[in-house]
Structure 1
Amino acid sequence: MSFRNISMYYFVCVAVHGITLANAATFSIQNNFPYTVWAAAAPGGGRQLDHGQNVFGVGGARIWARTGCEFNESGQGKCQTGDCVGLLQCQGYGLPPNTLAEYTLNQFDGQCPSELQTPCGRNNPCTVFKTDEYCCNSGKCGPTNFSSFFKERCPDAYSYPKDDETSTFTCPTATNYKLAKMKLESLSPFFFPFVALCFTVATAATFTIRNNCSYTVWAAAVAASAGGGGKRLESGATWDLNVKPGTRGARIWARTNCQFDEAGRGRCKTGDCGGRLKCKAYGKPPNTLAEFALNQYKNLDFFHISLVDGFNVPMEFSPTSGLCKKGIQCTADIVRQCPKELKAPGGCNNPCTVFKTQQYCCYYGKCDPTDFSKFFKARCPNAYTYPRDDPSSTVTCPGGTNYKVVFCPIGSPHLEMVASMSQEE
C-alpha cells in the first residue's frame, strides 16, 4: 500500500492552519487541489470542499481528506479513500489509505519532565528509553518515577503496562456514556485520547524475513527498523525484526545482485536504496513489496503485497501468531512473461514507472485497471497492481500479531526458474 501513491497512505495535499483563540484552537482546512475532496475530522465532522474552498472548525484529534466520494442528501454514501463507514459527518476514523493531520492540545500545562517532552506531545518513558524497566517486556515490573508523574495527575488512567487493573472499568451491556469537558485550568478534553494512544498495552510485532531462494538476496526494511534496515541473506537464512506498535508506511523487499563495501556502501541491480546496505529510503523499482501499518483503525494491522513498484522476487506475506490465518502470495512467473514495454534488468516494471501518466499512476481522481495492471492481477490476484486496486487486496489482523515475509516461498512453481535467472545475471 507504494505508500507514495497507493493503498493505505495515498498522500493528499491539504493545508491545515492552526489559529490561536482565547480558549480554543480553530483549524482552517483548505483544498488547493483542482478536484473536490471531502474533508473529515474526528471527533465528529466532515464536509465537501471544492477547489479553493475553506472550512473552519474547532479542534478534533485527527483531520484528513477523502477522495472519490458520493453522498446522498442524508449524508450516506462512500469514498474511495478515507471513508468513515459511509458517513459524510464522520463519527470515527477513516479507512486507510488516508494522510493524517493528528494533534493534541493543552497537555499537562508544561509540567512534563524534560526527558519525555517532544515537539508535538509528551512521550511515555518506554518510547524514550526502550528498556524493560519502563516497557515491561518480560515478567513483572513496578511503577517508576515517570509513571508516578502520570499517575499523580490522572490516578484513574493506566500509566505503565503492568499498572493497577482497577484502572479498567466495567459496565453492563447497553450502558450509555458521555465524555465531559474539564475546566480549562485542569486538563484538555483531548487528554483522554492521548492517554489511550500512549498507554494502551501494546507489544512489538516480530517480523521474520526468510530467504527461500537458491540465491543470495539483500533484504531491506524501511520504517520497520529504527535507523534504517538491511541485511544480506544467504539461501535459507532469516532475519527477525521487532517492529514497534503504531508503525505506519512500512515496507519490506528483496534486493538482488548487490555489492557493498565494508562501510555498507554499494549498489544493487533491483531494489537499490541510494546505495546503502541499511536502507533509509524506499527501493528503486522494480521490486516486490510487503507493505504494512500496525495498530491502526480499531487497533487492526493492515498488510498486503504490492506490485505498484513492479516485481523482482516471488513473495509470501503471512501472519504467524494468534487467530489470524490469512496470508498472501505472489509467486507467478512474472519476470519471464513480462510485457516487453515493462521489462527491466532483473525484474518487471509497473507501467507507472515507465510511462508516468495519470492513466497508470492515478495521480488524482478516479482511474481504472489497464491491460498492464490486468497482466499482474491475472498472475497475482491477491496483490495490489495499480493505485486504485481492489481494497480487498489489503488484509487485516488484530494488533500484536507476528508475521513472516518469505522470498521465493516453498512450493512456488517458478522458484527454480527465478533462481537460475538471477544467478545468470
Structure 2
Amino acid sequence: MGYSPISATAILSLLFMFSSFSEVQSTSFRIVNKCRYTVWPGILTGADRTVLTPTGFTLKSGRSKTISAPKSWSGRLWGRTLCSTDSTGKFSCVTGDCGSEKIECAGSGAIPPATLAEFTLNGDAGLDFYDVSLVDGYNLPMLVVAKGGTRGVCSSTGCLVDLNGACPAELRVARGNGNRRGVACKSACEAFGEPMYCCSEAYNTPDTCRPSVYAEYFKHACPRSYSYAYDDKTSTFTCAGADYIIIFCPKPFTSQKLLGARKEVADLPLVNKTMMYIGSRHSKGASR
C-alpha cells in the first residue's frame, strides 16, 4: 500500500501542537534557601486542583529542592521560620505557621504575616500568572525567577529587602520572651482590622480602596511586589512554558547584577536601591 506524502504545512502544524502540548504538561519549582538559617517552606494548592506535594518540608541553609507541578496547578508557596517541635511532638513556627502542628501543612495556608509566592499555571491564553505578595504581611525576602519561558514577559519579581528590622513599630512582630527583635511585619489590615486597610465593605473596589501609607512603605522597598489588594498593574507577571526558581533571602546586589543581564521588561525596578541597606544589620536575627 502506498503512502501519501505529508505536506510541510501539516508537519509544522504537528510540531506546533506537540510544542504547545509539552509547554503545559508540567512546571518545576526549584526552591532555594540562601538564608543563614533553616527555612521550612509551606505549599497550599488552590481549590479543585491537583495537590502539590510535599505540602511542607525542611530546607537547610544553602540547600534546594525541586518539585514538579502538574498541568494548570495554582497555589502559593511561602517560608516558615523559627520552627521547633515540643515535647509532645507538636511542630510550630513563629512566622508563617500553617497550624497543622506538623512539618507538612496538609491543606492549611500561612498564618499572616508571611511573604507569599502565588502561581496560576496555564491560565488565560496558556500563560502562567505569578506574583510575590505582601498583602498578608512579610516575613522573608523572596525572589521568583522564570526560566526558559517561550511567551510572555517572564520578568522576575519579589521582595529582595529584609524589612523586619525597619518595620514600623505598629506592624512589627517580635519573637517574644523579652526579645524585641522584629521577625515579621504585619499588614495594616491585620494590625488594625479597618475596612480602609483591608479593602472591605465600602472600600472593596479599586476606586474606593487606595494604598495606605503602610502599603506604600512595602511598595517603596519592593516595587514589583503586591502591596495591597488592588495592586495588580505592576505586580502580576506572565510567562508560558517556564520553570521557576523561588529563592529565600536572595542577596539584593548580586541578584540585581545577575538579573540585569536578562534585560527584563517591567514597569518598576525589582528593588529600590535606597532601601537595600536596611536589612543588613538584621539578616542574622531570624536564626536565633
**TM-score, normalised to structure 1's length?**
0.50
For 1:332-374, what per-residue CA distance to the aligned partner results, in whole angstroms no more than 9, with x for missing partners? 2411111111011210001111112210111223300111111
Picking from 248, 255, 258, the partner of 2:80 is 255
Query: 1:97-112 alignment to 2 at 5 Å?
Result: none
SS of the residue corresponding to residue 170 of structure 2 reads helix
Query: 1:179-194 alignment to 2 at 5 Å?
Result: none
1:239 corresponding residue in structure 2? 65
SS of the residue corresponding to residue 254 of structure 1 reads strand
8 Å CA contact retained: 1:221, 1:251: yes
SS of the residue corresponding to residue 304 of structure 1 reads strand
- Seen in structure 2, the aligned counterparts of structure 1 residues 357 and 288 have a Cα distance that, compared at 3 Å, is same
Matched residue type, 1:373: A
- Seen in structure 2, the aligned counterparts of structure 1 residues 343 and 311 have a Cα distance that, compared at 3 Å, is same
For 1:49-106, what per-residue CA distance to the aligned partner results, in whole angstroms no more than 9, with x for missing partners? xxxxxxxxxxxxxxxxxxxxxxxxxxxxxxxxxxxxxxxxxxxxxxxxxxxxxxxxxx
Separation (CA, whole Å) in 2 of partners of 1:391 and 1:370: 17
- Seen in structure 2, the aligned counterparts of structure 1 residues 264 and 291 have a Cα distance that, compared at 3 Å, is farther
SS of the residue corresponding to residue 57 of structure 2 reads strand
Picking from 206, 212, 237, the partner of 1:370 is 212
Matched residue type, 2:242: T
Separation (CA, whole Å) in 1 of partners of 2:225 and 2:52: 27
Separation (CA, whole Å) in 1 of partners of 2:89 and 2:33: 20
8 Å CA contact retained: 2:128, 2:238: yes
SS of the residue corresponding to residue 419 of structure 1 reads coil
- Seen in structure 2, the aligned counterparts of structure 1 residues 265 and 390 have a Cα distance that, compared at 3 Å, is same
1:219 corresponding residue in structure 2? 41
- Seen in structure 2, the aligned counterparts of structure 1 residues 207 and 302 have a Cα distance that, compared at 3 Å, is same
Separation (CA, whole Å) in 1 of partners of 2:145 and 2:84: 30
SS of the residue corresponding to residue 231 of structure 1 reads coil
Does residue 303 in structure 1 map to residue 130 in structure 2?
yes
Separation (CA, whole Å) in 1 of partners of 2:86 and 2:238: 39
Matched residue type, 2:247: V
Separation (CA, whole Å) in 2 of partners of 1:269 and 1:284: 10
Does residue 283 in structure 1 map to residue 110 in structure 2?
yes
Separation (CA, whole Å) in 2 of partners of 1:405 and 1:263: 33
Picking from 192, 202, 225, the partner of 1:355 is 192
- Seen in structure 2, the aligned counterparts of structure 1 residues 354 and 411 have a Cα distance that, compared at 3 Å, is closer
Percent identity of paired positions between Structure 1 and Structure 2: 34
Does residue 313 in structure 1 map to residue 140 in structure 2?
yes
Does residue 383 in structure 1 map to residue 217 in structure 2?
no
Separation (CA, whole Å) in 1 of partners of 2:31 and 2:244: 9
- Seen in structure 2, the aligned counterparts of structure 1 residues 231 and 287 have a Cα distance that, compared at 3 Å, is same
Matched residue type, 2:113: P
Does residue 406 in structure 1 map to residue 242 in structure 2?
no
- Unaligned regions of 5+ residues in structure 2, if any? 1-9, 175-182, 254-275
- Seen in structure 2, the aligned counterparts of structure 1 residues 263 and 303 have a Cα distance that, compared at 3 Å, is farther
- Seen in structure 2, the aligned counterparts of structure 1 residues 207 and 361 have a Cα distance that, compared at 3 Å, is same
SS of the residue corresponding to residue 341 of structure 1 reads coil
- Seen in structure 2, the aligned counterparts of structure 1 residues 362 and 303 have a Cα distance that, compared at 3 Å, is same
8 Å CA contact retained: 1:260, 1:277: no
- Seen in structure 2, the aligned counterparts of structure 1 residues 340 and 232 have a Cα distance that, compared at 3 Å, is same
**Number of aligned residue pairs:** 231
Higher RCO (C-alpha under 8 Å, 6+ residues apart): 2
Separation (CA, whole Å) in 1 of partners of 2:234 and 2:118: 14
Matched residue type, 2:155: K
Does residue 337 in structure 1 map to residue 166 in structure 2?
yes
8 Å CA contact retained: 2:161, 2:252: no
8 Å CA contact retained: 1:215, 1:419: no
SS of the residue corresponding to residue 43 of structure 2 reads strand
**TM-score, normalised to structure 2's length?**
0.73
Separation (CA, whole Å) in 1 of partners of 2:171 and 2:246: 25
- Seen in structure 2, the aligned counterparts of structure 1 residues 265 and 206 have a Cα distance that, compared at 3 Å, is farther
Separation (CA, whole Å) in 1 of partners of 2:87 and 2:27: 30
